[in-house]
Structure 1
Amino acid sequence: MALTPEELQVLQRIEKQLNDMPFYVVEYVRSKKRAGLSADTLLQYLYRYQHFFQWLLRENLTDASKSASIPYSILAEMKKQDVELYIEFLKEEAITHENSTVKKRGPAVITLSINALKSLFNYLTKETETEDGESYFYRNVMSKIVLHTKKETASRRAQKISSVILNEHEINDFMQFIEYAYEATLESGLARQRFNRDKERDLAILSLFLGSGIRLGETARILVKKINLKKQLIDIKRKGAKEDTVRVMDQAIQHVKDYLDIRETRYTGSKEVPFLFVTLYGGTARPLSRRAIENLVTKYTAAFVQGEGMSPHKLRHSFAADFIRNGGSIVLLRDQLGHSNIETTSLYTNLSNKDNEQVLTRMEENRLKQ
């Protein structure tokens, strides 16, 4: 399957990072790529490994002079206390940002670092093989590190999400706003000109999020040749490079058709671009990046709610909630969203179910009658 410029850039960054990594990390990355771990995840893991190896060098826990020379025997000999000291360092290290502000790492980054190391140690102790057929080492100190994540009930998580998504009425109002009212909010002629150039494209993007529930990355990677307008199906690339086919609602498929009708005349050179969504750069069509798609979703939703905009993921949440609200089953929604775990999908039963609120209201009314 074709790669977007962003995906190619990520792969290039991975190769650059590998130049400074020990051979066993290179083996790990090659192995995980073959297994389908996303390039984005691997790149983030490599950044974590780079930080970890630099810490080992600074703390004199190795005699190596650089990261690439650190032998895996150092990892095999690490004590639980060593790892705990590193985690403490992750929490306490002051990070200076570009605007000169100094902050500490958030819990999500620390968790990412721990998960990255757990994945590497698990690979080294279970999946590697020497000439004798043995793993590089067997003592996995990271297996002793327990992540204490904040527990929330599905109902609580659903409530947090429901406060920042579009409900069933707002979804239609939002699309109507973009199609008929958004232009009037623009003050400059250039902004109106660009909006009218990209209107069909942007409506197709927004409509796909709300009419199929696909992810941001999946949207950016849609290929023109993988769209079946008649059957209302689109072949997409899920997480882990899994191929899938997603069904699309009538309105969304019509918006895609409207966009395809003007794509080649509106975006010069788009016929040579395999990806569905394009933009003009230097007068020539190029694939629309994930960041650009995210920005346009935020821009339009901010204008609609007259406040803070929403992410593409919130539009995905909006679709999922509406799907359950209209009688869709969890199993069907799981397949539609491409979830690998039904527990993830079950969140939306709490998100969309108003029965609880209605029952409590009736209880209150009946009690007052007595």
Structure 2
Amino acid sequence: MNWKVTVKDYALYLRLERGMSKNTIEAYLRDVTKFVEYVDLMDNSLTPQNVQRENIISFLMYLEQEVHLSTRSQARILSGLKSFYTYLNESDQTENNPVELIETPRLTQKLPDTLEVEEIDLLIDAIDHTTYEGRRNHAILEVLYGCGLRVSELINLSLEDLFLAEGFVKVVGKGDKERFVPIGEEAAMQMTLYIENDRCMKTPKKGSENIIFLNRRGAKLTRVMIFTIIKRLAEAVQLGKNISPHTFRHSFASHMVEGGADLRAVQEMLGHESITTTEIYTHLNKEYLQQVITEFHPRASL
């Protein structure tokens, strides 16, 4: 059986039997397609059934040395190929599994970039508060940093999700899981000012009637718009850091852990399914502590 037919059948398997979403299926297929393109380039006599372990190893070396893919990208592609060969084995299309004994490239943990409180203040001070967009953007930054939201969670916040008197907002996170996140006084105040003085002047577009953050035409903001807002502010103050909406989420978590917050509480507020994901912020905290001792201890630099 040739690659084209096999990959097509694999896509049907992912959709019908695994019930995967369109985006997830496309990601799996991209991984397999990269290997198919490599086979066409190097040895088009290879079929899905006669690929050997050595071919996979050569492919990974090609990705690293010729394509210059990161270790993380190599690991993801290898994971996709493992899924593909699991499907071939389970569907009795081959007994061969050339990826079974290949170890995943070791990932180096990249700690997320964070902002200092002073840098967040600098970004907010650069906002033009004389405009609708400026006052809205102030509320957006306060909520991103004050609640640690993902950008997708922010743009989908609705008026019905606000419980400001109780000090909480309801957030719908990954997998449509709901959680209640505390909101600080500053974020709650800026949210209230925006809603009562600015948003109320807009006529929401159909489908955005309850959405909190709207553009000047009354439509829901997109992820790209939030990225653009933050990028422009960073450029305006010459921040010197490549930041995104997620940087505010990282900063929220890092500052909470630095301040002594319980890790389980931070996990709950971030909506992490596993405590392991949240534990990365303990590493950030250790870096901070190391920096403190290096800077202030009289014998640290001997």
- The bucket for the TM-score relative to the shorter chain is 0.7 to 0.9
| SS of 1:113 mapped into structure 2 | helix
Q: Which residue of 2 aligns with 1:24?
A: 10
Amino acid at match of 2:30: Y
Taking structure 1 as reference, are residues 363 and 278 closer, same or farther at Cα in structure 2, changes over 3 Å only? closer
Q: Which residue of 2 aligns with 1:82?
A: 55
Cα distance between partner residues in 2 of 1:293 and 1:201: 11
Cα distance between partner residues in 2 of 1:302 and 1:19: 49
Taking structure 1 as reference, are residues 247 and 20 closer, same or farther at Cα in structure 2, changes over 3 Å only? farther
Equivalent residues of 2:11, 2:25 under 8 A apart:
no
Taking structure 1 as reference, are residues 43 and 297 closer, same or farther at Cα in structure 2, changes over 3 Å only? farther
Q: Which residue of 2 aligns with 1:167?
A: 116
Q: Which residue of 1 aligns with 2:201?
A: 265
Q: Deviations over 1:136-158 (max 9, x none)?
A: 65653322221222445xxxx55
Q: Write out aligned runs for 1:1-370 (5 A).
A: 21-33=7-19, 40-56=23-39, 59-61=43-45, 74-91=47-64, 93=66, 104-123=68-87, 125=89, 139-151=96-108, 161=112, 164-175=113-124, 177-178=125-126, 182-183=127-128, 196-261=131-196, 262-266=198-202, 268-270=203-205, 272-273=207-208, 274-280=210-216, 284-352=217-285, 354-358=288-292, 364=298
What are structure 2's unaligned runs of at least 5 residues? Answer: none
Cα distance between partner residues in 1 of 2:77 and 2:44: 20
Equivalent residues of 2:293, 2:300 under 8 A apart:
no
Equivalent residues of 2:82, 2:100 under 8 A apart:
yes
Equivalent residues of 1:270, 1:278 under 8 A apart:
no
Cα distance between partner residues in 2 of 1:208 and 1:305: 23
| SS of 1:148 mapped into structure 2 | coil
Equivalent residues of 1:302, 1:310 under 8 A apart:
no
Compute the TM-score of the two structures, normalised by the length of structure 2: 0.78
Taking structure 1 as reference, are residues 89 and 244 closer, same or farther at Cα in structure 2, changes over 3 Å only? same
Compute the TM-score of the two structures, normalised by the length of structure 1: 0.66
Going by fraction, where is helix more abundant, 1 or 2?
1
Q: CA RMSD in A?
A: 3.6
Q: Deviations over 1:38-90 (max 9, x none)?
A: 7654433333333333444553346xxxxxxxxxxx54543212222333343
> How far did residue 241 of structure 1 move?
4.2
Taking structure 1 as reference, are residues 207 and 114 closer, same or farther at Cα in structure 2, changes over 3 Å only? same
Q: Which residue of 2 aligns with 1:71?
A: none
Q: Between Structure 1 and Structure 2, how many residues are aligned? A: 295
Q: Deviations over 1:189-227 (max 9, x none)?
A: xxx9xx713123212221121111112232233344333
Cα distance between partner residues in 1 of 2:300 and 2:29: 61
Taking structure 1 as reference, are residues 362 and 342 closer, same or farther at Cα in structure 2, changes over 3 Å only? same
| SS of 2:104 mapped into structure 1 | coil
Taking structure 1 as reference, are residues 254 and 169 closer, same or farther at Cα in structure 2, changes over 3 Å only? same
Cα distance between partner residues in 2 of 1:278 and 1:76: 53
Q: Percent identity?
A: 21
Amino acid at match of 1:60: N
> How far did residue 105 of structure 1 move?
3.7
Amino acid at match of 2:75: T
| SS of 1:143 mapped into structure 2 | coil
Cα distance between partner residues in 1 of 2:17 and 2:179: 23
Taking structure 1 as reference, are residues 248 and 60 closer, same or farther at Cα in structure 2, changes over 3 Å only? same
